[in-house]
Structure 1
Amino acid sequence: MSALEGRCVVVTRARHQAGSLAASLEARGARPVFFPTIAIGAVRDRGQVDGAIQTLPSFAWVVFTSANVVSHFWAAMQRANVSQLPLGMKVAAVGPATTAALAAVGVAVDAQPATYVGGAIAATMGDIQDLRVLLPKGDRARPETILALRARGAAVSEVILYHTTHERPDPSALDRLRAGADAVTFTSPSSVQGFSAILGREASTVASTTLLAAIGPTTASAIRELGWREPLEAPAATSQSLVDCLEAHFEATLEARRR
């Protein structure tokens, strides 16, 4: 029996992306509670996005930092009747979920950092001095990626594809959280910020008494910046790794009690 059996685990991921994490938790006997803290929507003014699509041949590289970026970028390409990236354009991706999203639309990745943080991507792209690099992103993307690219001399053009807003969780989910959960999972800095915004002062109380689990170093850093308790950090930025990390923690806790 899994150490996650019967554990109440809060899932703060956006509604449209929470299914895979919840399914992995349920497969090990946990009881996931959907508590989405963010919602993602395409920008209303598509002028900048459409302009970037039309000028794709002028870029040497395009850098994708999340699966959300991939899905919104491809939606923009479809609107513009552009079926594929220009021949010879190189693609960089941060994290296995991003690489998988690109593979799903038939795109191979030329560069991917071993660590799943945006700031590490530039070092994997070789000599990018004076090369034009397109960086599609969400409106709350952290600055590490663009700073790293520009530090290596790239001419970076940013384009915002979507906005991230705070969600309103179901009242029953809020009641379940307040009643006591075994863990709260976070899959992005935005989900951390959303949790803090929704709960206000109560967030720090929950965070001080509940196990926190982050999908990777960037998300873990966002938790630390708020002064909350030290989170578990999944070794790989995937839902499966996050669940494995939780299971290992609770197994170690049970083992310690047996001694």
Structure 2
Amino acid sequence: MNRLTPIGEDRLPLSGVRVMVTRARSQARELVEKIEALGGEAYEFPLLKMVPPTDTGPLDYAIGRLDSFDWVMFTSVNGVRFFLERMRQLGVSPDRMTGLVAAVGPKTAAELAKHGWTADVIPSDYVAEGMLTALQGRLTPGQRVLLPRADIARKTLPDELRRMGLQVTEVDAYETVIDGANAPEAAERLRRGEIDAIAFTSSSTVQHFTQVMAPYGLDGLLASVRIACIGPVTAETAKRLGLPVHAVAREYTVDGLLQALTANLGGDVHGTHI
């Protein structure tokens, strides 16, 4: 697509663009507010709910042995929040952590900092592959690694760490469950042409979207809708599930996603100024 060029000094980059936000309700506010600040209209269609794990036994056991790990690696803000909340419930002090800490990106690192933990490693690419690259030269076979993650997290990171000879303990810090309560309303908005773009912020939101919208005839609903993904992993999931992908963020963050929406979807959605 061509880069958007403004038609007036007072026109905002996403003026008139109606964007469906599929993030969990607890996480959607930042993206919604930034879309609106850019002149767009955000429609919240939360597809995920994050809840504590059904069985906290493995998580509790790992927390009780926290000082035995050489590394604790966090791959999401939610992983930090749920892990540290469980530590608080168990009465375990953050000071119990004596090893090194890795965070998948600056927002995850910032969440750690709120609780007094400093990330020793933050990759420049905010995905598992970027984490592995950033850790090169800092890992030693035999080191013990704790990965507190979502129950549906990808296996790329733990599998590669094990291949490198590290002892990896994976625990579910939280579970991700589908939330399709608003599917009928969302389908009707798509059918009436009231949505111009859909913003996907994770592979799980894509998977849940296709699942809950399948009964409504997904192909027909998306005929005139543009899809933006927060990064290549999410985009690949969308393509694998048969969704067209029109924009992929270069920086795998909310701001990167907004840049993709602005540069690639803004004016081209209505064909008014490209």
User: Quick check: 222-231 or 72-81, which moved more?
Assistant: 222-231
Select which of 187, 191, 203 maps to 1:174: 187
Using the size of structure 2 for normalisation, the TM-score is 0.87
CA distance in 1, matches of 2:187, 2:122: 38
> How many pairs were matched up?
259
Change in Cα spacing, 1:138 to 1:87, as seen in structure 2 (3 Å) is closer
Counterpart of 1:216? 231
Secondary structure of residue in 1 paired with 2:162: helix
Counterpart of 1:239? 254
Select which of 65, 74, 84 maps to 1:64: 74
CA distance in 1, matches of 2:49, 2:77: 15
CA distance in 2, matches of 1:38, 1:11: 11
Q: Which amino acid aligns with 1:136?
A: P
Select which of 180, 197, 218 maps to 1:183: 197
Select which of 138, 142, 162 maps to 1:150: 162
CA distance in 1, matches of 2:107, 2:221: 29
Change in Cα spacing, 1:54 to 1:31, as seen in structure 2 (3 Å) is same
> Is contact 2:104-2:131 (8 Å) kept?
yes
Counterpart of 2:242? 227
- Indicate the RMSD between aligned Cα atoms, in angstroms: 2.1
CA distance in 2, matches of 1:203, 1:105: 43
Q: Which amino acid aligns with 2:118?
A: A
User: Quick check: 50-59 or 171-180, which moved more?
Assistant: 171-180
Q: Which amino acid aligns with 2:167?
A: A
Q: Does 1:165 align with 2:165?
A: no
Name stretches of at least 5 consecutive residues in structure 1 with no aligned partner. Answer: none
Q: Greater helix percent: which structure?
A: 1
Name stretches of at least 5 consecutive residues in structure 2 with no aligned partner. Answer: 1-10
Q: Which amino acid aligns with 1:132?
A: R
Counterpart of 1:117? 127
Using the size of structure 1 for normalisation, the TM-score is 0.92
Secondary structure of residue in 2 paired with 1:121: helix
Instruction: Report how far residue 220 of structure 1 moved.
Output: 1.5
Instruction: Report how far residue 23 of structure 1 moved.
Output: 0.3
CA distance in 2, matches of 1:15, 1:137: 19
Instruction: Report how far residue 89 of structure 1 moved.
Output: 1.1
CA distance in 2, matches of 1:185, 1:112: 25
Instruction: Report how far residue 78 of structure 1 moved.
Output: 0.3
Change in Cα spacing, 1:218 to 1:66, as seen in structure 2 (3 Å) is same
CA distance in 1, matches of 2:254, 2:43: 15
Change in Cα spacing, 1:162 to 1:87, as seen in structure 2 (3 Å) is closer
> Is contact 2:18-2:43 (8 Å) kept?
yes
**Percent of matched pairs sharing the same residue:** 36
Counterpart of 1:34? 44
Instruction: Report how far residue 258 of structure 1 moved.
Output: 5.2
Select which of 90, 96, 114 maps to 2:100: 90
Secondary structure of residue in 1 paired with 2:35: helix
Secondary structure of residue in 1 paired with 2:61: helix
> Is contact 1:208-1:229 (8 Å) kept?
no
Change in Cα spacing, 1:204 to 1:60, as seen in structure 2 (3 Å) is farther
Q: Which amino acid aligns with 1:190?
A: S
Change in Cα spacing, 1:89 to 1:208, as seen in structure 2 (3 Å) is farther
User: Quick check: 16-25 or 93-102, which moved more?
Assistant: 93-102
Change in Cα spacing, 1:225 to 1:85, as seen in structure 2 (3 Å) is farther
Secondary structure of residue in 2 paired with 1:209: coil
Secondary structure of residue in 1 paired with 2:268: helix
Instruction: Report how far residue 161 of structure 1 moved.
Output: 1.7
CA distance in 1, matches of 2:105, 2:236: 17
Q: Does 1:52 align with 2:66?
A: no
Instruction: Report how far residue 147 of structure 1 moved.
Output: 1.4
